Chains A and B, each alone.
Chain A
Amino acid sequence: MSLRYLARRLMTAAITVFLIVVLNFVLFRMMPGSPERILLGRTPNVSGEVIQATRERWGLDKPLFPDQFVAYLASTVQGDLGFSFGGGSRGRPVTDVLLQRLGPTLLLFGLGEVLAIILGLALGAYSGWRRGGILDHVGNGLSLVLYSTPYFLLGMGLLIVFATGLGWFPTFGISTVGQSYAGPLDQLGDMAWHLALPLATVALGLVGQYSILMRSSIVETLSEDYVTTARAKGLTEGRVLRSHALPNALLPTVTLIAINLGYVVAGAITVEVVFNWPGLGTLTVNALSSRDYPVLQGVFLLLSVGVVLANLIADLMYGFLDPRVRT
């Protein structure tokens, strides 16, 4: 694909990230409650001087612009997102906190997305291709139901049935803390065992969405002239689908999946809470309930940038899939 395309994409991404950083600053200066009050909370015996001192320490005595903003930009660029106000990590660098939680979330949602995309696209493509067929009705019906179910509801259901009820899987966490493992496989097993339910929740939650997307996309494509051409060529249905319908149907789906990433995060949060999964989702709720603005800010930044990257990748993939946008 042409360098110009690549460059343009990268440029856009860069600009977006910058805007996010700015927005991040603005938003969090608008948040209710001044940091020093939150920091000091209802600490007894706090004198006015102390508050003044705290303000200075956090640079809150300086004007928002330019001083605070510049300081913010500078530190952000250096990856310094300030210190956590609380939520279980009081006083720790936000960056550390985020990094600590990033892994589990990536694991859970990376795997979940992959699973969902594979299953969803396959299911969607098939039922779209065999539109009106039995599997279309079953698959589509199922997809719709899954799509209609809030993640955490799904999670609660699975939790009640398979963890509390049947006791097949643990109810919380990513591993058995304090457990000493026979070997790496054993440890892997333990993690997989913990991962099973949350992963199922995420994958199921997304599968419906993706298969619906793919189905409609395929249905659209099948009505295109070039598909008729392919049929006229006397190609087998399978081949018509594989080499003509699918490649074209994938295009819009790729975009939509990328677009949806922003929303997927919403699911992340609730699923993680339901299973007490030590990821960014739990962190967010945690930060929210303990007014840990720096962390909330960090999460916002991290997730946004993550989505930007995801979109960038999607764009590049699109460029790879669709010759028309390469030039």
Chain B
Amino acid sequence: MTAPTLPGPAALSLQPVSRQRFGFLRELLRRPSGLFGVIILAIFTLLALVPDLLVGPLQTAVTATGPRLGPPSIEFPLGTDELGRSILNLTVHATRISMVIGLLATFITVAIGAVLGIVSGYVGGRFDALLMRIADFFLVLPTFVLAIILTAIIRDAIGTGSREIGGIRLSLLVIVVVIGITSWSSAARIIRSQTLSLKERAFVDRARVIGASSSHIMRRHILPNVVNLIVANAVLTFAGAILTETTLSFVGLGDPFQPSWGQLLEAARSTGAPGLGAWWYFVPAGASVVLVVFAFTLLGNALDDILNPKLAGRR
């Protein structure tokens, strides 16, 4: 019937699924913004995966060889910090930390958010009410102050911050948990509201009439239509995670032994790099943060374009 103009129910429910299934990756790469995002992320992912191969092991005060706050040179392409460590080395290793924190946090957040959001929105009733109360509660908590407090508490609980899990110090995993705890609710709430509106759409009713099980409807009809939201939310969350991590480190809650971008920025600031014009100290980390978040957002938008049936219809 009205397929091209206002995609009919059938189109709505089927289109994204099929599009997802069949190589939307190709579609993604066909989009310059998507391509750009993918490339940037690929680069940083590479840095994160094999920092040692690229710049050798993380330099410490002991293994540092460079001059104090030396500007970029042949030997130190990005200059050195106040202990003579190569900024390049630090930044690359920081990439790993930051990315891991960001991704873990994003995963936790979005997973919780999506599941709770969809179920709560679809099941509705008392369950929904309760869940959203809780979500709302978490929403109003000032993430950052809560994060500060939780960090202190959890650290105190798990004891020494030097034990490692998968090469990541506990003190940093704390940050992941904290971010997860503090940001799942917005994801849940947003996805829920979308679910609610979808629930009213004709095609869901129809599916229900046909006798599809709730779980089936949620998976086949709701999920595909909130994927774009989930993606968009994941993007924001990742950005938020990186930001929160940066900010926490910025006020000194990071772990100096596992420099993240935020940790570096903090170090640069407390060393007075900005005032000393030692731009090479904070620009790499700063640029990395901006670039990665930027890339993620581009990627998110591209995915949105592809996965969002409405947009798809109008392109």
Contact = CB atoms under 8 A, between A and B. Distances in A.
A113 B315 CA distance: 34
Nearest to A285: B251
Nearest to A33: B156
B239 A147 contact: yes
Interface residues of B, number: 55
Nearest to B5: A228
Contacts of A150: 243, 246-247, 250, 262, 265, 286, 289
Nearest to B239: A148
Given A150-B289, A259-B189, A269 B247 contact: yes
A296 B145 contact: yes
Contacts of A89: none
Contacts of A196: none
Interface string A256-295: 1001001101100110010000000000110011000000
Given A148-B239, A266-B247, A153 B265 contact: yes
A216 B155 CA distance: 39
Given A20-B141, A262-B141, A265-B144, A147 B293 contact: yes
Contact of A152 (B133, B143, B247, B304): B247
Contact of A289 (B240, B252, B293): B252
B11 interface: no
A223 interface: yes
B310 interface: yes
Contacts of A270: 247, 250-251
A84 interface: no
B140 A223 contact: no
A19 B274 CA distance: 42
Nearest to A28: B149
Contacts of A259: 139, 186, 189
B153 A27 contact: yes
- Which secondary structure characterizes the binding site on chain A? helix
A216 B144 CA distance: 26
Interface in A35-89: none
Nearest to B246: A150
B232 to A, nearest CB: 7
A156 interface: yes
Contact of A148 (B140, B149, B289): B289
Interface string A232-258: 000000000000000000001001100
A262 B304 contact: no
Contacts of A144: 294, 297-298
Contact of A265 (B142, B149, B153, B252): B142
Interface in B226-246: 232, 239-240, 243-244, 246
A108 interface: no
Interface size band for A: 35 or more
A147 B142 CA distance: 19
Interface stretch (A115-123, A172-180, A299-307): A299-307
A302 B289 CA distance: 31
A296 B250 CA distance: 17
A219 interface: yes
A142 B265 CA distance: 23
B140 A32 contact: no
B304 A303 contact: no
Contacts of A164: 274-275
Contacts of B313: 223
Contacts of A147: 239, 293, 297
Contact of A156 (B133, B139, B274, B292): B274
Contacts of B244: 266
A219 B311 CA distance: 8
Contacts of B141: 20, 23, 262, 304, 307
B4 to A, nearest CB: 12
Interface string B262-282: 100100010000110000001
A317 to B, nearest CB: 16
Given A147-B297, A259-B186, A152 B250 contact: yes
B152 interface: yes
Nearest to B183: A263
A160 interface: yes
Interface in B285-310: 286, 289-294, 297-298, 304, 310
Interface of B: 5-6, 133, 136-137, 139-150, 152-153, 155-156, 186, 189-190, 193, 232, 239-240, 243-244, 246-247, 250-252, 262, 265, 269, 274-275, 282, 286, 289-294, 297-298, 304, 310-311, 313-314
16 contacts: A16-B140, A30-B156, A147-B239, A147-B297, A148-B239, A148-B289, A148-B293, A150-B247, A153-B265, A153-B290, A255-B193, A259-B186, A259-B189, A265-B142, A266-B244, A289-B252
Interface of A: 12, 15-16, 19-20, 23, 27-28, 30-32, 144-145, 147-153, 156, 159-160, 164, 212, 216, 219-220, 222-223, 225, 228, 252, 255-256, 259, 262-263, 265-266, 269-270, 273, 284-285, 288-289, 296, 299-300, 303-304, 307-308, 311
Given A262-B142, A307-B139, 20 more contacts: A16-B136, A31-B152, A148-B291, A148-B297, A152-B250, A152-B269, A153-B286, A156-B269, A156-B282, A216-B232, A220-B310, A222-B314, A262-B139, A265-B143, A265-B145, A299-B145, A303-B142, A304-B141, A307-B141, A307-B142
